[in-house]
Amino acid sequence: MPLETATFVSDLIPANPAHSDGLNQADAHMRLIKAALKASFPHSGTITNSDNQLILLDGTSTKPSYSFASEPTLGFYRLSSGLIVIGGGRLIGNGAVPVGSLHEFLFEPEGFKNDGSAGGQYLELNGVTYNTADYPRLAAHLGVTASTFALLNVTDTGRFARARRTGVTAGTKEANLVGAHGHTATADAAGSHAHNVSGSTGSMDRANPHSHSTDAQQNNPNFGAGTQSPRAPQTAQATINATDINHLHSVSGATDAQGVHSHVITVAANVGAETRPEAYSVIKCIKT
């Protein structure tokens, strides 16, 4: 029978050559097998080592060393010492980074996108719109059924993340809010002053009914009759009684206008453009 054709080992037909084929085709069969083996295992060294480990070439991002027949550009390759990379796709499933997980970076990571284009592994949360067809797994995780979806924008004000709570679902954007608090204030000493009062007292009403009474004894110069000695002089005594002399004095007047003033209240200020705790900035991304 005519010689078969094959490029890789998988192309070889196990039933060939038939026992009826002539020996003159034996060398052609040998060359075909060797060509298929070298094409299937393009290795420059040994395939296994002394521990029977399969030894592969390092490979590249477009030609992984461990690949698949239906998609030869997808697979694993060695990037550098101690580092294996997936080429042509991504790893999902148990142990892989889950779709929709949030990540923070100080520098843009490999697979970073923030412009709405396809092929990203980490999309920045900057409100950009993406095509659902480019990121079907992320769209499904977000519950998107439309042809496009926009990511949450946390770069508009540099938002902080906080845990969801009763009445506030995950992904809800909240505006700035300053809680109740107090300020200490001081007043200056301006406005020291005095008030002057002027006026006069009222006089006692001389028509107020009153009287004075006197009870007095005066010296008596009379002598007694007969041989009596003259009486000793008597000292006069007087008592003046006063009645109805109660009265009041009143004062009237008005203060002048001196002392018009104001006080300046100074509140200690320590403010800026926003209210925030101590912080540092990062690139917030979502995994596709």
Stretch 176-181: mean pLDDT, rounded? 79
At residue 95, the pLDDT reads 77
Which H or E run includes 30?
A: helix 26-40
Return the sign of the alpha-carbon dihedral for residues 78, 80, 81, 82.
negative
At residue 191, the pLDDT reads 61
Q: What is the pTM of this model?
A: 0.52
Query: What is the band of 192 on the pLDDT scale with cuts at 50, 70, 90?
Result: low
Percent of the chain scoring above 90 in pLDDT: 30
At residue 21, the pLDDT reads 79
Rounded Cα–Cα distance for residues 286 and 103 (Å): 6
Stretch 26-48: mean pLDDT, rounded? 81
Cα distances (angstroms) measured from residue 127 to each of 94, 147, 172, 263: 30, 16, 14, 51
9: number of CA atoms within 13 Å, CB side? 7
Q: pLDDT tens, 221-252?
A: 554 555 555 555 555 555 565 555 555 666 66
In this predicted structure, the answer to whether residue 106 has a pLDDT above a threshold of 90 is yes
